[in-house]
Amino acid sequence: MQRFLRPLAVLTTALLLACRPQDTAPVPLKDLAPFPVGASISPTLLKNNAAYRNVLSTEFSSISVENAQKWGTIHPEQTRFNFTDAETIVDWARANGKRVHGHTLLWHSYNPAWLTNFQGDSTAWENLMKTHIHTVVTHFKGRVASWDVVNEAFSDAGTLRNVEAKPEDGSVWRQHLGPDYIARAFRYAHEADPAALLFFNEFGQESNPAKLKATVDLAADFKRRGVPIHGLGLQFHLGVSQSENGLSEALRQTAAAGLLVHISELDILVSDWKKDPTLQYTDALQNRQSAKYKFIAQTYRLLVPKAQQHGITTWNVGDSDSWITQGLKYTDWPLLFDANYERKKAYFGFAEGLKN
Ligand code: GLA
């Protein structure tokens, strides 16, 4: 009897082992990709949602700070900085072995009212900019590996945002400090942490040739003048119908600038940026989105030389914490994970693109 039972027991154990759920889990994105894979994150979810933490620690190797380092959060009054939310994120990231990408030192948006209403001459404005950059970068020195120094400085015309038709599109920085404020911002950041990698981050390069040219020209100009810039960020907030040609061109021309290239805020809207509360997440849409995620991962690997690959970062983690569904209130499913942080078809498409 023993003779028969023993092989049976061995077989049963083998079968049980083969069916363990961890054996069916795919290789995490961070282990598939030859470069860092990131997500932008929120301190509230990090503290309160175990599934969110779990997917972050398993799948990602880099995190971007979603809102906690923007002026409105980190510098709420002229003489007061509030590092609490950013510390929550940076501490967690470091404890879990993740690279931290800081976001963002200067932007025209998300600024506190005291800053927008600040009265002062150009010297006073320069001092505000310099103090802010020095204080924030010094605070995180050695803990934040890279920074978006300036975000979205160009208008759709490919010229620097200045006074714009909609006041909220204008830039107080350009208005008060003249066109060369970007270069000075980079110098201030470099003074505060010479080891940090400094990025210029922009959106729309994939669909707006004038903006693409503007960012590439800025990089060339800074390199020529010895301004410390190390990388360009392509946000890639995309509609599912975004042309592949536009994406390839944006990556090709950005890579040709010779700096690091970061796909910095990736999401893919199946709504194609149309507000439609009746939209359904059909199989067909899921497949198209998955194919586009795959295309982006693949094209990034092919067109951006290894030494220039800063990585690909999605903007948020799951569909229900996306700024698209939460902030802008679109009916959409733009990310790799669903509302319960389960992997979607988009995830598997992206993973395919990372590995072959
Ligand atoms: C831009 C910014 C991000 C984020 C999104 C959504 O892409 O760079 O910080 O705020 O808009 O609001």
For domain 35-355, the CATH class is alpha beta
CA 352 to chain centre: 20
Rounded to two decimals, what is the model's pTM? 0.93
List of residues 6+ apart from 11 with CB closer than 8 A: none
Tokens of 139: 């605070």
Return the exposure string of 247-256: e unless at least 16 CB atoms fall within 10 Å of the residue's CB, then b: bbbbbebbbe
Q: Which atom of ligand 1 is nearest to the CA of 148?
A: 8
Based on the residue annotation, tell me whether 265 is a catalytic residue of this protein. yes
Q: Which residues form ligand 1's pocket by a CB distance below 6 Å?
A: 103, 151, 203, 235, 265, 323, 327
Closest CA to 180 of 122, 135, 264: 122
CA 96 to chain centre: 19
CA distances from 244 to 57, 299, 301, 331, 355 (A): 31, 9, 15, 24, 19
> What residues does each domain of the chain span?
35-355
Q: Of all protein residues, whose CA lies closest to atom 12 belonging to ligand 1?
A: 323
| Mean pLDDT in consecutive groups of 10 residues from the start of the chain, 356 residues | 52 49 77 98 97 98 98 98 98 98 98 97 98 98 98 98 96 98 98 98 98 98 98 98 98 98 98 98 98 98 98 98 97 98 98 92
pLDDT score for 266:
98
> In whole angstroms, what is the distance from residue 122 CA to residue 205 CA?
31
